[in-house]
Amino acid sequence: MLPYGRQTIHEDDIAAVVAALRSDFLTQGPLIEEFEQRFAEKVGAKYAVAVNSATAALHLAMRVAGIGPGDRVVTSPITFLASANAAAYVGATPDFADIDPVSCTLDPVSLEKNWKPDTRAVVAVDYAGQACDLPEISRIARARGAIVIGDACHGVGGAFHTASTPGKTWKLGGNPWADITTFSFHPVKTMTTGEGGMLVTDRKDWADHARILRSHGIVRDPASFTALDAADPLAEKGPWFYEMQELGYNYRLTDLQCALGLSQLKRLDDFIARRREVVAAYNRAFADLSWLRTPTTRFPADADSSSWHLYTAQIDFAALGKTRVEVMTSLRAAGVGSQVLYIPVHLQPWYRRTYGYAPGKCPLAEKFYQRALSLPLYPTLSNADVAHVIQAVRSQGAAS
């Protein structure tokens, strides 16, 4: 069975993790800082903070930006739950604007039209690896005193173009429009640490704060300790001493995971190059199918700069004369896995119950959901695998 996504693990990765296992540190050792530095360089950001998931990175982004009760955070409904849940974790109200039908990312026009005065942040999700319209989203947000949190979980290693800077590429994570960017290293993403995530920003104060929050809110720098009366039981401050000055979490990534991350990072460009080849092959092979829309990009050049985490085709199942379940079942029988990414988050029962969201709130996202089907896309797909997927998909039409 060819799954819709999977990790690519080489002998080098295994050797790197084994070496870490033989070292003095399984966690909290030197590989964390090394991974953070290499990653920051790779994406062009000043600071990187490694955490044990992108969900944790999104949560910390909310915390360091001071988002909380009474604030609204807007995101795209076509995303994984975590993009919106992070706002709820800090007591803010997650809200949604619609997608633009070309890139299937947050539509700035819908964002601006639905803007509410209590909106303090936009979580800009780079669906499938394609950057959302960051310059426009940031213009709208900043003019209203809000910040942009990039959810580049699909976009590790990806870059994009803008209308105002023709010929130039900007990196996800290293651009002037997102105030903080978060990345995921879950196995189906473009590189992996097992579970894992990264928060990047150019703001030192936010990076420092995120580091404190990822480890229980603990402070070890004597210069930051609370001044106490000499008679206080905690007045003696030796080498063991630390203070918890605010409520934090255990969001630490381990050295074992950072060893894997450092090793994967070296091959990230190769991984993405192969993803682009597979996407180009699918696009060519499906171009003539009237019932299938291949993924489109905002700028043609984005097809060659996107990290292509997902290949999501939009299928007109009515025109095809088959339900999505029938197509998925038939593909599975041919050894081809597929997945529906994503169920619009605002329509999840918890969101309907908690915030009163209902069908019709984001019509284009809801229509996209009806048609979406993600096909196998990962670097180790061979040309024969790709040909097999193409044949299995095309034959859906032939059989109808």
Q: Are 129 and 155 in contact (CB under 8 A)?
A: yes
Quick check: bond before 127 cis, omega within 30? no
Of 48-56, 288-296, 314-322, 356-364, which part binds ligand PLP (CB under 6 A)?
Answer: 48-56
Q: How far is residue 121's CA from residue 224's CA, in Å, rounded to a whole number?
A: 29
Q: What residues pair up with 27 in beta bridges, in sequence order?
A: 254
Cβ 184 to ligand PLP, closest distance in Å?
Answer: 3
346 binds ligand PLP (CB under 6 A): no
Token digits for 296?
A: 């489109």
Distances (CA, A) of 85 to 57, 79, 112: 12, 11, 22
Please state, as a whole number, how many other Cβ atoms lie within 10 Å of the Cβ of residue 204: 10
Can residue 392 be called a binding residue for ligand PLP (CB under 6 A)?
Answer: no
For ligand PLP, the closer CB: 151 or 202: 151
Choices 52-60, 159-167, 365-373, 389-397; region in contact with ligand PLP by CB under 6 A: 52-60
Binding test (CB under 6 A) with ligand PLP, winner from 59, 154, 161, 275 = 154
Q: Is 55 in the site for ligand PLP (CB under 6 A)?
A: yes
Nearer to ligand PLP, 120 or 154 (CB): 154
Per rule CB under 6 A, count of chain residues that contact ligand PLP = 14
Whole-number Å distance between alpha carbons of 318 and 330: 16
Residue 106 vs 292, nearer CB to ligand PLP: 106
Site string for ligand PLP, 65-104 (x = CB under 6 A): --------------xx-xx---------------------
Of 184 and 307, which CB lies nearer to ligand PLP in the complex structure? 184
Separation CA 37–CA 315 (nearest Å) = 42
Question: Any contact of residue 254 with ligand PLP (CB under 6 A)?
Answer: no
54, 149, 198, 292: residue in contact with ligand PLP (rule CB under 6 A): 54
Q: Which residues contact 185 (CB under 8 A, 6 or more apart)?
A: 54, 156, 191, 192, 193, 194, 195, 196, 197, 198, 257, 261, 264
Residue 125 or 256: the one with the smaller Cβ distance to ligand PLP is 125
CB 113 within 8 A of CB 95: no
Tell me if 153 contacts ligand PLP by CB under 6 A: yes
Whole-number Å distance between alpha carbons of 363 and 101: 11
Site for ligand PLP in 132-151 (CB under 6 A): 151
Nearest distance from residue 318's CB to ligand PLP, in Å? 28
> What is the smallest separation between the CB atom of 56 and ligand PLP, expressed in angstroms?
7
Residue 253, C-beta contacts closer than 8 angstroms, at least 6 positions apart:
32, 35, 50, 51, 52, 193, 196, 197, 261
Q: Among all chains, which residue has been given the structure tokens 């700069």?
A: 305
Among residues 7, 53, 162, 264, the one that binds ligand PLP under rule CB under 6 A: 53
Cβ–Cβ under 8 Å, residues 400 and 322: yes
The distance of closest approach from Cβ of residue 222 to ligand PLP in the complex, given in angstroms and rounded to an integer, is: 34
Taking CB under 6 A as the criterion, which residues in 109-128 touch ligand PLP? 125
Closest CB to ligand PLP among residues 171, 309: 309
Interface residue list for ligand PLP (CB under 6 A): 53-55, 79-80, 82-83, 125, 151, 153-154, 184, 186, 197
